[in-house]
Amino acid sequence: MPYRAPVEDYNFLFDHVVSLEPLRQTERFAEATDDVTRAILTEAGKMCDEILAPLQRNGDLHPAHLENGVVRTSPGFEDGFKAIADGGWVGMAAQPEYGGMGLPMALTAAVGEMMSGACLSLQLAPLMSQGQIEALEHHGSDEIKALYLPKLISGEWTGTMNLTEPQAGSDVGALTSKAEPNGDGTYSITGQKIYISWGDHDFGGNVCHLVLARLPGAPEGTKGISLFLVPKFIPDEDGNPGKRNGVNTVSLEHKMGLHGSPTCVLEYDKATGWLVGPEQGGMAAMFTMMNNARLGVGGQGIGVAEAAFQHALAYAKDRRQGRTSGPEGSILGHADVRRMLSTMKADTFAARAIAASNAVAIDMAKATGDKAWKARAALLTPITKAFGTDTGIAVADMGVQVHGGMGFVEETGAAQFVRDVRVTAIYEGTNGIQAMDLVARKMMDGGEAAMALLDEIEADVEAAREVFPRLATDVWNATESMREATEWLVAQSDLQNRFAGAVPYLHAFARVLGGHLHLKSAMADRGGAREKMARFYIQRMLPEHAALLAHAQAGAEDLYALSADELAA
């Protein structure tokens, strides 16, 4: 079925739930007016609907493949990427001095989500470039920025990030790639990297890799890692792709999904690279790119959730099976099908609103320099990434169930959503690592940022009491439970007690945030469909927070009670 980008949902969200008005009051984003925002979302939506969405099945049925050392991409992908580049969508948030639009991250994230729903395999290419652009803006030398940023922003060149090695996955500090100084300001990079999304392609231009490697004498672990920019072709004196560099695609991974996205094993053999940031400052520089990507990956999950929901709803409207209630005459009249579709829609909205809140916090931190906004953005990033991708997986899986037996048949396309989105909970830091980051690093302030957010929720809830007393009371009580759990959490000196309940704590936080944002939506659409959806979420889904918080506060003792032998018995 045709995909329809959720343009009107974003217009409503930015008008009534996660307002962009505070951004527009800043000097940095004063030009992101309502008219500009709506025009951008409308044009991006057209591109997604008309150009990218038709490529979705092509990528799955005709995967990228390696042919005589050249990566051949799926039919239509080159034209699809050209449409993205020509529209300026790669450089939406990039600095105008290098050709970017300088728009808020909130709009970049919205467009990224829409592209993900249309064709996730292709959306990965601009997402990687966007992360590299931000890393170079913050950490690149003036010479690197002048040469690379205009070409990356225009889409003439593309970017990647290279962290993972066969023996160094989440433990990045275990990497063995080496960088040797060449004596002329460049470095010789040697090593192998795996799982490199869009590590090579046949679009032309240049592929620019940000590579983590260790200099001679550098200490072990993450502290000794440096970051290098290693292009596929070394730029000549005019800045054009020149001599082929010592980096080659050894193979493409055979994956469960995302077949249209070439995931490369790259071999670096004394490849020429340039240092980005200070020596042994690689992780700090790379985290700039990774945090950008984590927001984007959360959006990928949400985009697939939206597409899977639309697909399932269209099927349910047409499918006749058994006696049903209601006027439709289709399986939409079955209570359980209604439950699934309502759950899919309500959770997709919650995840989308959380991601938008995250993006606005990032923008406000950039525009104002306010530490409170920076802390808010940091707190929401792991929630956005983990909840957004878990929602994508759950909604896609539920979409197969709505289809019944036909969902298990590949021709319907329902299964592709499950296969494509599954990896989003793994890459850019597994969702377990996101949860551990939330309960540890993000709570180093004693829970101050979390408490400030809970205070804000309760202030909004108070304003809603007269209109929706029951809904407001339910959200208030859940918020208080979240506050008590957070107080318990920060009191734990043994981090294992935090880590043992990290994932349920994160999901409980997302449930409470979702309840708050649905309540704001209901306030803006009294008596309308959004109020009805808010009632469904708050009455049926928000209560899950209680069980999640009980799990979160159970401690670690029982997790370690069973020995390895007992687990295997």
Helix (H, G, I), strand (E, B) or coil at 282: helix
Residues 489 and 508: their CA atoms lie apart, in Å, by 13
Query: Are the CB atoms for 90 and 277 separated by under 8 Å?
Result: no
Tell me the angle at which helices 335-368 and 371-403 cross, rounded to the nearest 10 degrees. Answer: 160
Helix (H, G, I), strand (E, B) or coil at 250: strand
Query: Are the CB atoms for 157 and 151 separated by under 8 Å?
Result: yes
Residues 564 and 566: their CA atoms lie apart, in Å, by 5
Tokens read off for 352: 């989308």
Q: How many CA atoms lie within 13 A of 129 on its CB side?
A: 32
Query: What's the longest Cα–Cα distance across the chain?
Result: 78
The secondary structure element, H or E, covering residue 67 is strand 65-67
E-strand stretches of 133-280: 158-162, 178-181, 187-197, 207-214, 225-231, 233-235, 241-244, 247-252, 263-276
C-beta neighbour count of 168 within 10 angstroms: 17
Residues 284 and 203: their CA atoms lie apart, in Å, by 31
The alpha carbon torsion through 405, 406, 409, 413 (nearest 10 deg) reads -140
Whether 428 sits among the annotated catalytic residues: the reply is yes
Residues 353 and 112: their CA atoms lie apart, in Å, by 14
Phi, psi of 322 (to 5 degrees): 75, 175
Q: Are strands 263-276 and 225-231 parallel, antiparallel or unpaired?
A: antiparallel
Residues 51 and 147: their CA atoms lie apart, in Å, by 30
Residues 248 and 360: their CA atoms lie apart, in Å, by 39
Complete DSSP assignment for 84-146: HHHTT-TTSSS-GGGT-----HHHHHHHHHHHHHHHHHHHHHHHHHHHHHHHHHHHS-HHHHH
Query: Are the CB atoms for 178 and 226 separated by under 8 Å?
Result: no
Residues 520 and 539: their CA atoms lie apart, in Å, by 15
Residues 523 and 48: their CA atoms lie apart, in Å, by 30
Q: Which residue among the candidates 428, 448, 456, 480 is catalytic per the annotation? A: 428
Residues 314 and 456: their CA atoms lie apart, in Å, by 38
Residues 6 and 42: their CA atoms lie apart, in Å, by 10
- Active site (catalytic) residues: 428
